Amino acid sequence: MTIDFPKNLGHLPEYEAVKSFVYDKLVHNTTSKVDFEIYLAQACRDWPRAATYLQELAMEKHRWGAPWRLEHFTLGYEASSPVEGSFSSFKRALGDEPKSFAGVVQEHVKKDIEKTQMERRRLVNASIRAHDSTLKSARSDAANQCAQVFSEDTTEKFELANQDAQDYVCVEIGTLSEEQIQRGVSRAHSVSRRVHVGTNPPPPRIVEEINGIKYCSCLKDKNGGRPDKHIQCVLGGAFVKEQFNPHWKVATDVEEAEVVIHPSLENAMEEYMDEKGGVNIDTMSSMGIDEEVFGTINDDDDIPNDGVGVFAVPLAAATMEATVSTVRRAVPRKKKMDSTQKYRALLQESQHLANIVSQENEEVYNKTMTLLKYIKTNIQNSSGEELTMAAADYLGVKRSAAEISNVFDDKILAPVQKRSSGATSTKRKKNCVEKSVGVSSGKATCCRLCGFNHRINKCDATNKLGERLTKSTWRMIDVVPELDERVPHCDPVVPKDALLLQIVGSKGSGESKMYKANVILFGVIPKEAPPSWLSRKTIDDWARMGDSSAHYVLIPHK
């Protein structure tokens, strides 16, 4: 939680006073935890309308409060958390900013190199666009050849590999080893980086040629499916189609579909072609169109209602005018459905089936339910013979004795579903003896006050501080002994991190009666802060008159 005063306290007339008090007393200048709690209580009393937000803000005091932040190594730097302060202090102590003239020059050179690389990448991305005639003159011939076969992304990476290859030199290896000869290596080159003054170049790479294709020892060509900078150094930046994986090609697979003309359309087509130029079915051979390409179908056959393979008269005429005998259409590559898509498809079909069957008579419902239960029980992982037999029996299809014997004697498998639907139980199954005598597992309940394994009414640490009030014993708060001291102040709210209030005494009577309480944190640990003076109404609302499961009140023992 961050300090957001305008959002939470902007409505207060004393907004500036609250903000300055919090920053001066709680954030910057206070180093003692006790003083921090004193100033926090004072701020809540001075500005009651801001008390609730200040108490909620105090729950994150270890992030911004000085007494908690200064316990960490922050060198006095302020931050939103101790970790950020530590990192900031280490970074400043090590000196991230250049302090000398040479350091400043190095920083400028570094920025210039980064800017140059960014501009280089931008120009390459802008210039390498496949099949763009306006940019062909601005890129290399090898990139233009690559763009005609492969995609834009592949062409871009190929051009970058050619640019990086200019930093390398290759030397052909004259004598091949016996191991290379056994692997079918015909030629080999050693590719090394150009040596610059004051640099330590990496070891050279070996580019081998096997069956006319070059392979690099860095294996980047195999992993990426494209030639890398070492191979392009050997090739001299040329484009070799065989060095690319075929799956990067732009072209798609196509199939040839035969054009079928129904006899009922032949007369209309002949009349249409006569009007256009006197072309008919008999004169197709003179145009170079084979009549067998169009094929024939019987008069008894119906025209396909989906329109596949059948052309309307104008389209058929235009096709014959262009002397096109086949139609080429792209075959879409269907991806295999994953488990989620299969589940949604099955769910959609099952919902549709349920809507239909639920509206039919009882007999159809019973048959469908029986079949679904049979399928659920006997569906197999690897084969579907048993499921096929179930569908055949339901539909009344007769199967031969050999098929029935082959299915039910040899290939029957155990049912996949061996438990009811739902999550797997993680509890141990008790036998009848344990259930009858009520044997407990022996695991104790965790106490909400101290965190140890015992019941809340058996907490010794809490019982030593006083008697815990419940809903039935809440009226016992009225018999708290009266103190002979002056009430210094009245706190409007209970501290947010309080788990227990230890009532040590009271002062006054009636509605103006005040209670002196010590704040106890989780783990039954007293808070490092002065006691709070709270009204009866504040305590009742906080503990819900003994009915709260998160706030508790203790009174002294009788």
Q: What is the pTM of this model?
A: 0.39
Question: Are the beta carbons of 46 and 492 closer than 8 angstroms?
Answer: no
Give the lowest-confidence range in 46-60, 275-289, 532-546. 275-289
Band of residue 502 on the pLDDT scale cut at 50, 70, 90? very high
Radius of gyration of the chain (CA): 43
Q: What pLDDT shows up at residue 209?
A: 92
Residue-averaged pLDDT of the chain: 74
Helix (H) or strand (E) holding 188: strand 185-193
- Measured from the Cβ of residue 497, the count of other Cβ atoms closer than 10 Å reads 13
Between residues 228 and 119, the one the model is more confident about: 228
Does residue 66 have a pLDDT over 90?
no
Question: Are the beta carbons of 484 and 42 closer than 8 angstroms?
Answer: no
Q: CA 260 to CA 303: how far, in whole Å?
A: 10
The pLDDT tens digits of the residues spanning 90-104 come to: 776 666 666 677 777
Give the lowest-confidence range in 56-70, 228-242, 419-433. 419-433
Dihedral, 394, 396, 399, 405 alpha carbons, nearest 10? 40
Give the lowest-confidence range in 78-82, 174-178, 181-185, 244-248. 78-82
Q: What pLDDT shows up at residue 41?
A: 92
Three-class secondary structure of residue 165 per DSSP = helix
Reading the block at residue 158, the tokens are 């190929």
State phi, psi for 191 to the nearest 5 degrees: -110, 120
The pLDDT tens digits of the residues spanning 95-143 come to: 666 667 777 777 777 777 877 777 676 666 555 444 455 555 555 788 8
Question: Are the beta carbons of 209 and 186 closer than 8 angstroms?
Answer: yes
Domain ranges of the chain: 5-94, 129-248, 255-327, 355-410, 456-555
Between residues 85 and 464, the one the model is more confident about: 464
Of 368, 406, 373, the residue nearest 389 (C-alpha): 406
State phi, psi for 533 to the nearest 5 degrees: -105, 115
Does residue 75 have a pLDDT over 80?
no
Q: CA 479 to CA 466: how far, in whole Å?
A: 14
Reading the block at residue 63, the tokens are 């992030």
Query: Ranked by mean pLDDT, which of 10-24, 153-167, 312-326, 363-377 comes out on top?
Result: 10-24
